[in-house]
Amino acid sequence: MAAIKNSTVILGIDPGTVIMGYAIIEVKGNDISILTMDVLKLGAIKDIYERLEMIHTKVHSLIVQYKPQTFAIEAPFFGKNVQSMLKLGRAQGVAIAAAMQSKVLVTEYSPKKVKQSITGNGNAAKEQVWHMLERVLNIQEAPKYFDATDALAVALCHHYQTSSALKGVSKGFKGWDDFLSKNPERVKK
């Protein structure tokens, strides 16, 4: 599937070495559609290097199939388990390398930034993020894994951060309510 003219295709990744979430959205004007959203399950494979190769292969195949112009990935959060952080960093690096190898523009977002972009609350729970995605994108069916919805949130966050409609929101407004009150024409009914 090739990118349609006058549209933007964004690949969002929630990196992981056990489950990697991925989602691809297409933005045409004000319309956002989900092209795919799923997970790559890696837990059954014991060899970390085999897992990393599978991540690279999956990201590369998504890029070949959907031809995204941009690649957005969630940055690892800083936890207390150093070994987990190292593994997650490797998974993220391999996914980024696949995008760079295909000459796709890469952008990284902190988990807090993604949640803030989607819900207005940087400390929102995964369920809150999912419910907002459900409303904004009119999703009818709940996914089996939040890793997939996290990837969708990353892709949508990237769209919000790069679209002209929301540039400067954080500087000129006190929040979404303030933005909406000053821009009533932006609300879809």
Catalytic option among 26, 38, 147, 150: 147
Q: Which of 26, 38, 74, 150 is catalytic?
A: 74
**Residue type at position 169:** V
The whole-angstrom separation of Cα 126 and Cα 146 is: 7
Is residue 127 part of the annotated active site? The answer reads no
Tell whether residue 147 is among the known ligand binding residues. yes
**Residue 38 among the catalytic residues:** no
Please list, in sequence order, all residues whose beta carbon lies within 8 angstroms of the beta carbon of residue 126, skipping any fewer than 6 positions away: 146, 149, 150
- Which residue out of 14, 26, 38, 150 is catalytically annotated? 14
**How many angstroms from the chain centroid is the CA of residue 119?**
14
14 known member of a binding site: yes
CA torsion 117-122-125-128 (nearest 10°) is: -40
Cα(67)–Cα(24) distance, rounded to whole angstroms? 10
Q: Is residue 74 annotated as involved in ligand binding? A: yes
Residue 32 bridge partners (DSSP):
27
Catalytic, 53? Answer no
Residues making up the binding site for Mg(2+):
14, 74, 147
Residues marked as catalytic? 14, 74, 147
Residues making up the binding site:
14, 74, 147
